[in-house]
Amino acid sequence: MQQALEQLPVAYREVLLLCEVEEMSYQEISATLAIPMGTVMSRLSRARKALRGGLQEQFAERVN
Amino acid sequence: MVTYGLWSWKAKLDTYLDGEVPEGEMRTFDAHVRSCPSCSGDALTRVQMKRSIQAAGRRYTPSAEFRKRMQQKIASRPRRSFGLGWTFAAAAAAIIVVGTLTSVYLGPRSGKDQVFSEIADLHVATLASSSPVD
């Protein structure tokens, strides 16, 4: 998981960490990073999707 | 009453689990997740994912570059002036009182934790009912 997290683009990683680890609301993240709420939501969604993809790749590598 | 197709529910599931769905829609979402095995299963998977990210995130050591970037962003946030000091003090006191009362009434669990545990219970119940033990 940590490896997959580190492989995320910085813009996705920062939003994801602020949401999940710091437990900030979308509005707080939006204010902290000075980006619109819609951007917070889309980056979060893409970050989670990329993370799932990264984990699946790691799993496939281990199996093969 | 808000109604969605299955894919719309799924698309908003992360927002729901982040507690960011508007109050009115939250009840509709709760009801749907309770009644839809597909969404409750999906919600459980996503909750597990969230927990893993939280655990990994706490152990995560940011690179110097990443840390610098975050510090700059947080430092560049516009700060409120304290010209209305008493207003802020009164608001802070009110928040503390409301927070204390809320925690007394709601107990130690946070709203998110309660949603997560309800989803987990629901999923277990769904699994148990669809595959009865001989």
Residue of A nearest to B67 (CA): A14
Contact of B14 with B46, CB cutoff 8 Å = yes
Report pLDDT digits (tens) over B5-52: 776 787 888 999 999 988 888 888 888 988 999 899 999 999 999 999
Asked if the C-beta of B54 comes within 8 angstroms of chain A's C-beta atoms, the answer is: yes
If you average pLDDT over residues B101-127, what whole number do you get?
Answer: 66
Q: DSSP state, B4?
A: -
Residue whose structure tokens are 């997740």: B33
Closest C-alpha to B2, from B34, B111, B22, B46: B22
Is the ipTM reported for this complex over the cut 0.90? no
Residues of A with Cβ-Cβ distance to B54 under 8 angstroms: 20-21
Residues of B with Cβ-Cβ distance to A40 under 8 angstroms: none
If you average pLDDT over residues B81-110, what whole number do you get?
Answer: 59
> What does the radius of gyration of chain A's CA atoms come to, in whole angstroms?
13
Closest C-alpha to A20, from A31, A29, A11: A29
Strands (E), B1-134: none
Residue A32 clears pLDDT 80, i.e. is over it: yes
Decide which of B132 and A22 is more confident.
Answer: A22
Closest C-alpha to B26, from B120, B117, B111: B111
pLDDT at residue B134 in the model: 45
The C-alpha angle B8, B27, A50, rounded to 5 degrees, equals 40
Report pLDDT digits (tens) over B62-76: 778 777 877 777 776
pLDDT at residue A45 in the model: 93
Tell me how many residue pairs between chain A and chain B have CB atoms under 8 A apart.
54
pLDDT at residue B105 in the model: 58
Q: Do A1 and B55 touch (CB under 8 A)?
A: yes
- The pTM assigned to this predicted structure is 0.63
Residue A38 clears pLDDT 70, i.e. is over it: yes
Residue whose structure tokens are 């093969």: A64
